[in-house]
Amino acid sequence: MSKDEIYAKAETPDRPFRFNAAVAEVFPDMLRRSIPGYAASLEAISSLAARYVSENSTCYDLGCSLGAATLAMRNGIRMPGCHIVAVDNAAAMVARCRDIVAADADEHQTSVEVRHADILETVIENASMVVMNYTLQFLDVSARDTIVQRIFDGLMPGGLFLLSEKVVDEDAHMEELLVDLHHEHKRRNDYSQLEISRKRAALENVLLPESVARHRTRLKAAGFAHTAVWLRYFNFVSIVAIK
């Protein structure tokens, strides 16, 4: 695993965050050190796949990056005839993801198709499980209602949508505390204050978080009968929604 030192380098350009080849090279380390509770979210994806994925259905990993959620689903699926569609619009991520998925291949495992495509143009159908693991936050806010509605429409009755996001707290005092705790988490994982500041600046206007209440309102409006926050660690949450 290559160490994430992108924002430690003096020559790091002052520009918005992008999922390019440099990020793809260090992405596993970046996630491990930056997102508290990330490993737990992957464990849950596997467990939920074992419970909710139905026979001869399709599962989707929208914004798959290097395929961690894809492999978690694949490892959890117990039913025959299933297929996973993993989608990302970053070419560098897709190329590396295809290699990772191929290395994990087994003739007895669920088949996986890794697509280089825009998730906003992806047709969702015959789905028993859809995952967006820290993806919705990178979409324009104006597009979020539409993609969640399309996920609901493409899910089978009883199908599951797992949404993981960075969020903002509606209480300004608590939001400040949660941000400070997250930065402390990064410092304990050997990020310098310079790296933390640079990364935060790079993500400004690229990663646009919303409140938990806004996410649950959107899910309810789309038609989901049941939603719950099953995991929260500082300002990172995972929400399960069932059709």
CA distances from 59 to 26, 125, 132, 154 (A): 27, 9, 11, 10
Domain limits at 238?
1-243
First-to-last alpha carbon distance for the chain, in angstroms, is 38
- The 10s digit of each residue's pLDDT in 109-136 is 799 999 999 999 999 999 999 999 999 9
| pLDDT > 70: percent of the chain | 98
For the chain, the residue count is 243
pLDDT, average across residues 204-229: 96
Query: CA-CA distance, 26 to 21, in Å (whole number)?
Result: 9
Number of domains in the chain: 1
pTM higher than 0.75: yes
CATH assignment of the domain containing 79? 3.40.50.150
Is the pLDDT assigned to residue 169 strictly greater than 90?
Answer: yes
